[in-house]
């Protein structure tokens, strides 16, 4: 598991379920989906998107992961 300090996490852009994010793989955009919690409810604790049939890690705790942030700023 990747770990970040609270401050690093707070500096990342907010990511929400249903939000589109740039895809570093194909250059397109994909919708972020949440993982399911123990009750089967979609949650932003872990976020991912699919490029084709392959799921990619997109964020966690409601924040975009840094690799996607760097891509969006370029
Ligand atoms: Zn893609």
Q: Cβ neighbours of residue 72 under 8 Å, at least 6 residues apart? A: 13, 21, 22, 64
Distance 40 CA to ligand 1 centre (A): 26
User: Would you kindly state where each structural domain of the chain is located, as residue ranges?
Assistant: 6-73
Distance 49 CA to ligand 1 centre (A): 8
Report the pLDDT value the prediction gives residue 28, as an integer from 0 to 100: 94
- Mean pLDDT of all residues in 37-41: 94
Q: How far apart are CA 67 and CA 74, in angstroms?
A: 11
pLDDT in tens, 10-33: 899 999 999 999 998 999 999 999
Cα–Cα distances in angstroms (integers) from residue 42 to residues 16, 21, 26, 74, in the given order: 11, 18, 26, 30
The answer to whether the predicted template modeling score (pTM) of the entire model surpasses 0.85 is: no
Distance 4 CA to ligand 1 centre (A): 25
């Amino acid at each position: 598991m990747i770990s970040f300090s609270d401050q690093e996490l707070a500096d990342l852009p907010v990511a929400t379920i249903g939000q589109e994010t740039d895809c570093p793989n194909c250059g397109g955009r994909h919708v972020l989906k949440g993982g399911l919690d123990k009750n089967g409810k979609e949650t932003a604790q872990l976020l991912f998107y699919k490029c084709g049939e392959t799921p990619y890690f997109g964020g966690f705790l409601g924040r975009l992961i840094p690799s996607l942030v760097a891509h969006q700023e370029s």
